[in-house]
Amino acid sequence: MRREGAQSRTRLAATGLRKETPDGESAKEIWPARVRAPVQEKHKKQSFTVPCSPKPKYRDDSSIFDGLVEEDDKDKAKRVSRNKSEKKRRDQFNVLIKELGSMLPGNARKMDKSTVLQKSIDFLRKHKEITAQSDASEIRQDWKPTFLSNEEFTQLMLEVCSDLIFESFIFLEKEII
């Protein structure tokens, strides 16, 4: 019986239906998908393995491994680049926060980032209010001649107003007397 198996294996190998590796391994390892078909030989039933689809005799696993290594290297390079960019951004943010904190009035102690930002917002709001008030109290440019500065115009207006007030007092005195 063993002899028949060897003969049928040789016959199948010769027909190309079953392949063996140089190590003597059967096609079972190379072609896991197989069809078992009965063969009649002198009224004895025997089965043999027929591959469903031909596959290469040997697989080149090194090329797959190299591809995975290349992808890992690319992913690692991307991650390193992204981490470097993120660190640069964080460092620049910290430098700008420190600079902003040093510009704030009354900076006696070290402040955390949120305090620096909150004090900056408060300062800018106050500055905006002061600017709005000074704009409202500022002499309108259409009242003032262009050759006079704001201070000269203010002085001139004060003199005129004081003269008017003084003359109105004199006028009232004459009326009363």
Q: Report CA-CA distances (Å) from 67 to 56, 60, 81.
A: 19, 12, 21
Domain ranges of the chain: 2-51, 61-137, 141-177
Q: How many H-runs (helices) and E-runs (strands) does the chain carry?
A: 5, 2
Q: What string of pLDDT tens digits covers the 177 residues of the chain? A: 445 455 544 444 444 444 455 555 554 444 444 444 454 555 555 555 555 555 555 555 556 666 667 788 888 999 999 999 999 999 999 999 999 988 888 766 788 999 999 999 999 999 999 888 877 766 566 667 777 788 888 888 888 888 777 776 666 666 666
For residue 173, the model assigns a pLDDT of: 66
DSSP helix/strand/coil, 174: helix
The topology (CATH level 3) of 61-137 is MYOD Basic-Helix-Loop-Helix Domain, subunit B (4.10.280)
List 39's β-bridge partners, or say none.
Answer: 46
What is the pTM for the complete model shown? 0.40
Per-residue model confidence (pLDDT) at position 157: 85
| Confidence (pLDDT) at 156 | 86
Q: How far apart (Å, rounded) are the C-alpha atoms in residues 65 and 59?
A: 12
Q: Which pLDDT score, from 0 to 100, does residue 58 have?
A: 52
